[in-house]
Amino acid sequence: MAEVQTVKAKIGNMRKEQEFVVYPSFVEVQGIRSLCVQSDTVYARLNLGTGEGVYANRPNGATSASLVLHGKPCTVPMALMLQFIEAMPKDGDTMSGVCSIVVPKENH
């Protein structure tokens, strides 16, 4: 088993890079396949094909619900999207040794 990987990045108007964890499954919203990433203060949903998406930056932490109330459009470079895809957790990966990730079969 491997440790879940993080990606250092800036999204939107962030001043400093943060460590992002990539959610272990893709989401489909209005027919667009996306992935979700989260750091201590930012949550983002990004289009797999274009890097366009929406993000929320909240000082006390952002969640998917933050996108509805505070979401702003953003575009990340495709090189960063490839890093996020590469960092997606695999079945059996662990987070700090305390839990194991189970990845839905459609994302293998």
Q: Which residue has the tokens 């400093």?
A: 16
**What amino acid occupies position 83?**
Q
Residue 73 lies in a domain: yes
The answer to the question of residue 61 being in a domain is: yes
Q: Hey, what are 6's tokens?
A: 């993080």
* Local confidence band at 97 (pLDDT 50, 70, 90 cut-offs): low
Into how many domains does the chain fold? 1
CA distance 42 to 59: 8
**1 within some domain:** no
Other Cβ atoms closer than 10 A to 91: 14
Nearest of 78, 60, 20 to residue 44 by alpha carbon:
20
Distance CA 34, CA 5 (A): 19
pLDDT of residue 105: 55
Task: Tell me the range of 22-36, 43-57, 80-94 where mean pLDDT is highest.
Answer: 43-57
Domain that holds residue 77: 6-107
Q: How many CB atoms lie within 10 A of CB 32?
A: 14
In a domain, 53, yes or no: yes
Summary mean pLDDT of the chain = 85
pLDDT of 42-85, one tens digit each?
999 999 999 999 999 998 888 888 888 889 999 999 999 999 99
